[in-house]
Chain A
């Protein structure tokens, strides 16, 4: 399967703990995006990378959130000192980085903060 993959698929954690999610984009795609989706809502943009450079961050991305894409391939999203309000589906998408910006999503990581 050559689609976007995300791990873990589910994460349950206690409030105050740190969590890290991983995204592996489609191999020839150089743009990578993180979105967050809560129940009954559409995905909300968090941040995006072109190769290893993080080019845009939403104001939704508080200081407790950090994303990296160290070699321009996979990316990680870390949430420090989790809060119950962080419970959501975290979605990763990738696109080719040409004029065509079709974004293809992974299956998501569902985070539950107790």
Chain B
């Protein structure tokens, strides 16, 4: 079993839809949770960085962490074709510095 599980997709939605992307993790020691966006053949771009359970909002993006269920989510409101990319979740343990990534979910927003 991988430490971080993520559905690879692809996930196709119409423009303007609310997108929900999810990851589960197995190690309760994970304390930090990140979401990255990666366009094809580019490096990952940090979208959200969270520590505690609950919600964190930044513009059209909301990250949600439920440590009791070991479940993390990223919501994208009013999705745009430019949001079409692969979304990677990542976690790390407090006191360590390496990130453990999911496989990424490929998102297509159709105009």
Contact = CB atoms under 8 A, between A and B. Distances in A.
A26 B2 CA distance: 31
Interface string B23-62: 0000000001010100001111110010000000000000
Nearest to A91: B43
A42 B101 CA distance: 5
Nearest to B41: A110
A76 interface: no
Interface stretch (A11-19, A43-51, A62-70, A80-88): A43-51
Interface in B45-89: 45-46, 49, 88
Given A42-B103, A43-B44, A106-B43, A101 B97 contact: yes
A106 B104 CA distance: 18
B42 A48 contact: no
Contacts of B103: 40-42
Interface in A27-65: 31, 33, 35, 40-45, 48, 55-56, 58
B43 A105 contact: yes
Contacts of A45: 98-100
Interface residues of A, number: 27
Interface residues of B, number: 25
B42 A108 contact: yes
Given A56-B97, A56-B98, A91 B49 contact: no
Contact of A101 (B32, B41, B44): B32
B90 interface: yes
B43 A103 contact: no
Given A91-B43, A91-B44, A101 B92 contact: yes
Interface string B1-12: 000101010000
Given A48-B97, A95-B97, A42 B88 contact: yes
Contacts of B97: 31, 33, 48, 55-56, 95, 101
A24 B59 CA distance: 30
Nearest to A50: B97
Interface of A: 4, 6, 31, 33, 35, 40-45, 48, 55-56, 58, 89, 91, 95, 101-108, 110
